[in-house]
Structure 1
Amino acid sequence: MQTTVAPARSGKKKSPTFPLLRKPDTPTPRETRAALFGRAKRPAVPLRKIFVQKRMEEPDRTSVLAPFVTAGDLRGLRAYLMILAASANTDDNGWHTKLDSLVWARLFGTTDHATDAAARTAAWRTMERLAKKKLIHCERVPGSRKVSVVLLREDASGEDYTRPGINGNNDAYLQIPIKLWTTGTDEKLNLPGMAMMLSICAERDWRAFPAEQMPKWYGWSADTTERGLKNLTELKLIRRRERYRKTPLSPVGFTAQFEYRRSGALVLPAPRTRVKTSETDRVQ
């Protein structure tokens, strides 16, 4: 009778196999903004109106926003608004945010087509420009690659920042919806569009922006105004209506003027209201 001999077993145990884990992609600037702004858990960011335009009694109403527009500094303007949105903590050092310089770079969008070192440098230079305008104070944290940014008042006075609308602060302010950044809408705005967006958001209702008055009222040209309104209209961020005013001394007896108000992603969410439950409505 023939017997079959089983093959000898090797003394070595097979090592368990694990699936190869793929390194995740680097977060995009939009993902970085969504994660950072989501920590604050607020639907909109307050910005004092004096950043956009001085009060009516001022002979020259141009304010802090105008130099960003005339210098073509879209990156600086966007960076400032993002720092404002990111600043949710306050202590003895003021309203501040501390992040790795590469996170700041992704937040500002300087990482596109750049090395990490170049992106960090571009972000730091952007913050230095804002510091020279007395809108922020920034410093590198010793022993790390982190950068600490402290907000200053929006009027470029260099004074400490306080949050408008809270703790008895009655300064006039506008609100910018967080979804402007989290949906990527901000990436489609050009500099004229960003400037006109802030101007329209500063108004509570319909408002006309006469081209001939814009240099005196806001500090930029009629052409910049028209290009900004065109950009906002294409993105469906504003609505337009035509209003007529009686002018007896004009040839036709009236003049027409366009007025604008915010729409789309610029519309503020409705405030939450608490519904009071009466004793009879409660479930027994």
Structure 2
Amino acid sequence: MHDDNGFEPDEQPASREEIVAAYVRRSKRKKNVAIRKAFVQQGGRGRLARPGPLAKLVRNSDHTALNAYVFARMLGSSDPWDVQLDSGVWVLALNLQDKTPTAAKGLVSKALRRLEDDKLITRSRAGRKSVVYPLHESGNGDPYTEISGEGDDPYLQLPLTYWTHDWHRKLTLPALAMLLIALDGKREFWLPAEDAAKWYGISASTANRGYGELEAHGLLASRYRKVRNDLSADGLDRRLMRRLIGDFAKPAKKPELEKVAAAEGDLPTVPHLRAV
């Protein structure tokens, strides 16, 4: 038997949060993950708009698959965009460590299979590790290509704080869905819950739950704004405008907008009522 006298004591294992944060750093991304807007909405705006693959994940209550998808998109940061992970890391990243090891690994495998069936990823094996390759965010089965950033290739940006500040564990599926939709819109946006189904395939009840949770976490603020309406008796309508704040606040395009926001303070939170 060896004498351990004089040797340094064993170190404590890294926590789940530290492991996830280490993989975020390993991705070498600076602030955000770019995801094509086709994932949340396709066909452009107006009558041609139709829901993207996000809608099916939400309808199927597939929080695990959605988190697996955005985690894979974060890690796959350069060509060939592949993600090679041991199943145990997937378990930690998807917050499944309260399950038995066999059950947790099964849930990871099934979630990745559903993403594969939806033509959002392809998979292979490299020894004990699964290898995930992203496909085009629209779910059309095309290979993934680098986002051009041009007008015909629009994208939203999911901040890395989603993982480094533990929001991937704290936010439920409705909140994550509405976060992605809010990131897809303008800095201050108007999307009544009743219209979420038409534009994004998300039910009004799910949208309201998502809005409420984001507000409760201090990530969303809202206010009523008066807008001109030539057909109204007083020439005005009131719209319930929202914007992301805190870890997911979108930067203003012009410096003067920030000055206005600083002068007004945070937008007051108001009940979830459709603007009238």
User: Between Structure 1 and Structure 2, whose CA radius of gyration is higher?
Assistant: 1
Distance 1:20 1:129, change over 3 A: same
The answer as to 2:199 corresponding to 1:217 is yes
Shift of 1:252: 6.0
In structure 2, the partner of 1:138 is 123
- 1:270 and 1:250 mapped to 2: Cα distance? 31
Question: Aligned in 2, Cα 1:206/1:124: closer, same or farther, shift over 3 Å?
Answer: same
Structure 1 position 247, deviation (Å) = 4.0
What secondary structure is seen at the aligned counterpart in 2 of 1:128?
helix
**188-197 or 242-251, which moves further after superposition?**
242-251
In the alignment, does 2:76 pair up with 1:87?
yes
After superposition, give the CA deviation of every residue in 1:216-270 in whole Å (9 maximum; x if it has no partner): 1111211111111111111111221211134465566533211112211113589
Match of 2:266 in 1: none
Equivalent residue, structure 2, for 1:70: 59
How far 1:82 sits from its partner (Å)?
0.6
Aligned residue among 50, 59, 63 for 1:61? 50
* Other structure's SS at 2:82 match: strand
Secondary structure of the structure 2 residue equivalent to 1:260: strand
Query: 1:51·1:64 contact (CA, 8 Å) conserved in 2?
Result: yes
Asked if 1:102 is matched to 2:91, the reply is no
Aligned to 2:19: 32
Name stretches of at least 5 consecutive residues in structure 2 with no aligned partner: 254-276
- The structure richer in helix per residue is 2
| Percent identity between the two aligned chains | 32
Q: TM-score, normalised by structure 2?
A: 0.81
Contact between 2:223 and 2:240, CA under 8 Å: does it hold in 1? yes
Unmatched 5+ stretches in structure 1: 1-14, 272-284
Residues 29-51 of structure 1 deviation map (CA, whole Å, 9 limit, x = unaligned): x3222111111222100000111
Q: Using a 3 Å threshold, how does the CA distance of structure 1 residues 18 and 47 change in structure 2: closer, same or farther?
A: same
1:157 aligns with 2:140: yes
The residue type equivalent to 1:51 in the other structure is F
Bigger shift: residues 79-88 or 183-192 = 183-192
| Structure 2 Cα separation of the partners of residues 243 and 107 of structure 1 | 40
CA contact (8 A) 2:187 2:250 kept: no
* 1:104-156 deviations in Å (ceiling 9; x for gaps): 2222222x222333322221111111111100111222xx2111111111000
